[in-house]
Chains A and B, each alone.
Chain A
Amino acid sequence: QVQLVQSGAEVTKPGASVKVSCKASGYTFNSHEINWVRQANGQGLEFMGWIHPNSGNTGYAQKFQGRITMTRNTAITTAYLELSSLRFEDTAVYYCARGAYGGNRWAQDWGQGTLVTVSS
């Protein structure tokens, strides 16, 4: 079965960077985009961007342009999200999600989430 297993919780300081991983299994990693969505406590879902594992192409939401980087390692079927210049308001649960086959128009499967806390 499809599994997306994310790295553990992180506590970091304002201005620093954080890198979250998403280990995929149970499907052909190169055939589906990986999306990143975050959710602040008590808030809704916020789309951050996507990466296509096969090409490495990315698309970032404008809000995060300049401080977001998505990468992947196809040898170990793992995608990464790095967010820099962290602010208190970046405190949230970060989810990776596998895009639907043939266009990434919806998120078929989700990771368990990674809590990132930005605190001084």
Chain B
Amino acid sequence: SYVLTQAPSVSVAPGQTASIACGGDNIGSRNVHWYQQRPGQAPVLVIYDDSDRPSGIPERFSGSNSGNTATLTISRVEAGDEADYYCQVWDSSTDRYYVFGPGTTVTVL
């Protein structure tokens, strides 16, 4: 089955840019989706299909995907961005299911 990797944690100062990587074999050939999960809350979709934002998600959130790495970028980081971030792809090879990365905790210094 397909495996996604993420760094456990990223620290960033307010106002700076956070880059959260998601690795996978030739992940650039797949569409990657990203979720934000604040402590004690349900996940929220922040990016779908590599780089599209759902309505209501700030433009500060952007995504890219190429080669073996997809990246979620948060510009002008705010305290409210402190959360866990999960990447996800859809695996249609068997029962059509979601594969999640292990998650990255973003800490705002």
Interface presence of A66 (CB below 8 A): no
Contact A110 B33 (CB under 8 A): no
Give bound CA distance, A45 to B103, whole Å: 8
Contact B97 A110 (CB under 8 A): no
Contact B100 A107 (CB under 8 A): no
Taking A44-B102, A106-B88, A106-B90 as contacts, is the C-beta distance between A50 and B43 under 8 angstroms? no
Say which size band chain B's interface belongs to.
Answer: 20 to 34
Which residues of B from 24 to 58 have beta carbons under 8 Å from A? 31, 33, 35, 37, 42-45, 48-49, 54
Contact B95 A112 (CB under 8 A): no
Contact B97 A47 (CB under 8 A): yes
> What are the residues of chain B within 8 A of A49 when measuring CB–CB?
95, 97
Chain B contact residues, majority secondary structure: strand
Q: What are some 22 contacts across the A-B interface (CB < 8 A)?
A: A37-B98, A44-B86, A44-B103, A45-B86, A45-B88, A47-B97, A47-B98, A59-B96, A61-B95, A61-B97, A97-B43, A100-B48, A104-B90, A104-B96, A105-B33, A106-B33, A106-B48, A106-B88, A107-B98, A108-B54, A109-B45, A110-B42
Give bound CA distance, A45 to B86, whole Å: 8
Which residues of A from 4 to 55 have beta carbons under 8 Å from B? 35, 37, 44-47, 49-50
> What are the residues of chain A within 8 A of B99 when measuring CB–CB?
47
Interface presence of A95 (CB below 8 A): yes
- What's the minimum C-beta distance from A66 to chain B, rounded to whole angstroms? 14
How does the 8 Å CB contact mask read for B80-106 relative to A, with 1 for contact and 0 for none? 000000101010001111111111000
Contact B97 A50 (CB under 8 A): yes
* Nearest residue, chain A, Cβ from B42: A110
